[in-house]
Structure formats: C-alpha cells, structure tokens
Chain A
C-alpha cells in the first residue's frame, strides 16, 4: 500500500533568530484535505513555523516539501511565486494593501495568476459574501473594522483555490459566534477543493472545528505526531 502523498511536509525544520531557536527540528506532514490546528503558548514558534511552511522565511535547517518540491531550496522569487499561485496565507497581523478596497485586495491573487478583471471581481465578491463582508467590499482597508479586514484577508487566502491554506490566528479579532462561522466557511471551502488547512489559534473552540492538533512548546512538538 502506498501512503497518500502529502501536499506539504517538513523534516527537521529549524528556524532561528540569532540565538533564539524559534522552530526546533520539527517533522510534520499535511495531507490534501487535512485540517490541523496549531496551538501553543505565546513565543512557542507558531508564526515562525507557518512562515517557514509558506516559504516566507527560508529555514535555517531541515526541509520543506511542497507539492513534491523542496521549497527551502528555491530562491525568494520562486518561493513567492509558488506561494501566490498555490498557497493561501492569512498573517497574524494582517497584510491587506491599505490603498485598495477589500474586493480589490481579494482580486489580487487571481490577477497575479492572469485572470481577467471581470471574472476575478465577481469571484472575489462571492468569497467576501461567503465570509459575511460583502456589504463593505468597496471600502478601503482603513475604513473597515479589524474583524472585517480579517475576514477579507481570509477571503483573499481562499479565492484562488490554493492547495494549502495557512492561517495565523485568523479569527483573533472576531466574536466567538462569527469566529465559528468563519471557521466553518474555511473548512467547507478547503474541503470542497481538497486543500490542506492549517490554522494557528489559541482558542479551543476554533480548534474543535479541525481534525488534528499540533501543540508547540519552545519550538518543538509537544502534542501531535506527524501523520
């Protein structure tokens, strides 16, 4: 029996900042359609792990495999290309383009992939609608609430049907009811497309919408074995 191929995997993944070892020799495997919560105390390396998985930072040691390719061996430009085309990322502190409206932000990944403006716009609007923020789609990022901006960032991470979605505290600014609805939407959309979903969260209610749990402590996996 051949094991199901992972879409994303690490071996001995290590990320350092000077003397700080933020991620310490971590082995993880994410299958298509898997849903994983990453938890752990503040400073345990959750964001650093996610950034290395998404190729935002190059690891200081170990390997990151994404769609059968060594992500850590690619140049910065190649990594961003893979990320923009095949991954959806939601950053902990947001990174919507402030000069653009929400819908323009959500259209960006589609346009980078060469989609024409009109279909891109209607798909982006659908996605904003699914996340409950259609009514502020034409406002600039600075003119919406933190929770609305957060939902637009999630829409942008999902809109191009990526193979993996990496979300860092995606519901941190949402009330618990909205947080659960947003989680359900993320799960439904990634399930439909077979994408792997990885969500960093400190809320167990959020984690209860996902199937697997990884707990980091001091950059190491305290709970949750590699698949």
Chain B
C-alpha cells in the first residue's frame, strides 16, 4: 500500500509537521514497518504541488526549517475518493482496505459503505474465478482454489467488521 493517501488522511485530522505526521502514521498504519522520513517529505511536497495541502508556517529552529502543513478542500476530496474507491482484490487490497476503513471511522465517513463497496469488487473476482474453475486443468484449479479461499477469508472479515460496525451504529 502506498503511504501517500493515508498520510493525507492524517493531515486531514489536523495540521502537522512532517515529523508528527510520520509518528502518527507509524502508530496507526505501520506498526511493523515504520515509514522513512524521506517518504514523508516527498509525499508532503507532492501534496503541495497538487494543491492538496499548503504550508501554514515555517519555523526555523536552530538550523533546519520546520514546515507546518494543512490540508486543502481539494485534499479532502482526494481523501474521500480514496476512502470510498474499492480496490482490485489483490493481496495488497486488504491492508489498503484496513486503512480506508480506519480513516472512514475516524473522519466521520461511512465505514460500512467502504466495506460494502469493497465486497462488490471481491465478489466480482470470486465470480470470475468460479467461472474459470469450470474448465481449469489441475494446476490452474489449485491456483484458482487458493485465490478463492483467500478472497472468501477477506470477505468474512469484511462481513464481520461490517456487522460489528452496524451494532455500534
């Protein structure tokens, strides 16, 4: 999963310096693989170039500049589009889904909607595989069954997460 959009979503919560943003990101999305500073600064300057974020102040604390960023309305729209856009059900889709659901929950967007949309994508792929399985040779069959089992497990998580969120709602 690319770190850029989750970072932008964290910036949506409140304006921040790159350093704070990296810490929040690590706490929230990357417990096992912390983000490199370089990635954070690269992402922030890209946000600025695209008009998704702007610098609100520049402080100079003995030497290096610290730039504080704030999200723009365009940036907020970008976060929304990312949160709600279902992903191709590849092996990366789930960590991405996890991040999108988590952002939706903390930003007042509809997490159930995010889950429902992803479910449609996953089920579409399962349908494809179920169709392919009919005339698959034994090796293909193994691969197809493997992918189906994974998609099914993902969907169980989606279902369970959705039901729990429903209960809380």
A interface with B by C-beta (< 8 Å): 41, 202, 204-205, 207-209, 211, 213, 215, 217, 222-223
Q: Which 5 A-B pairs have the closest CB atoms?
A: A208-B126, A204-B155, A208-B130, A41-B163, A223-B116
Could you tell me if A215 and B152 are in contact, using CB atoms closer than 8 angstroms? Answer: no
Residues of A within 8 A of B112 (CB): 217, 222
Interface-facing stretch out of B66-74, B76-84, B92-100, B117-125: B117-125
Could you tell me if B116 and A222 are in contact, using CB atoms closer than 8 angstroms? Answer: yes
Given contacts A41-B162, A222-B112, contact A208 B119 (CB under 8 A): no
Interface string of B119-163 (1 = CB under 8 A from A): 110110011011000000000000000001001100110010011
Q: A213's contact among B123, B130, B148, B166, by CB below 8 Å, is which?
A: B123
CA A223 to CA B116, docked complex, whole Å: 7
Could you tell me if B116 and A204 are in contact, using CB atoms closer than 8 angstroms? Answer: no
CA A207 to CA B159, docked complex, whole Å: 13
Distance of A227 from chain B, by nearest CB (Å):
15
- Kindly name the residue among B117, B122, B123, B156 whose own CB sees the greatest number of chain A CB atoms within 10 A: B123
- Kindly name the residue among A202, A208, A215, A223 whose own CB sees the greatest number of chain B CB atoms within 10 A: A208
Given contacts A41-B163, A41-B166, A217-B166, contact A204 B120 (CB under 8 A): no
State the interface size on chain B (CB cutoff 8 A). Answer: 20
Residues of B within 8 A of A41 (CB): 162-163, 166
CA A204 to CA B162, docked complex, whole Å: 14
Describe A's contact surface by its main secondary structure: mixed
Could you tell me if B126 and A205 are in contact, using CB atoms closer than 8 angstroms? Answer: yes
What would 7 more interface pairs be, CB under 8 Å, given A208-B148, A223-B117?
A: A204-B159, A205-B126, A208-B126, A213-B120, A215-B119, A222-B112, A222-B116
Chain A to chain B contacts (Cβ below 8 Å), 10 pairs: A41-B162, A202-B159, A204-B122, A204-B152, A205-B152, A207-B123, A208-B127, A208-B130, A209-B130, A211-B127
CA A215 to CA B120, docked complex, whole Å: 10
CA A211 to CA B151, docked complex, whole Å: 17
CA A171 to CA B122, docked complex, whole Å: 21
Distance of A103 from chain B, by nearest CB (Å):
30
Residues of A within 8 A of B148 (CB): 205, 208
Residues of A within 8 A of B120 (CB): 213, 223
CA A41 to CA B167, docked complex, whole Å: 10
Chain A residue at smallest Cβ distance from B122: A204
CA A41 to CA B152, docked complex, whole Å: 17
Distance of B51 from chain A, by nearest CB (Å):
33
Chain B residue at smallest Cβ distance from A213: B123
Residues of B within 8 A of A217 (CB): 112, 166
Residues of B within 8 A of A205 (CB): 126, 130, 148, 152
Q: A204's contact among B126, B163, B166, by CB below 8 Å, is which?
A: B126
Residues of B within 8 A of A222 (CB): 112, 116
CA A204 to CA B112, docked complex, whole Å: 17
Could you tell me if A208 and B129 are in contact, using CB atoms closer than 8 angstroms? Answer: yes
Distance of A38 from chain B, by nearest CB (Å):
13
Residues of A within 8 A of B156 (CB): 204
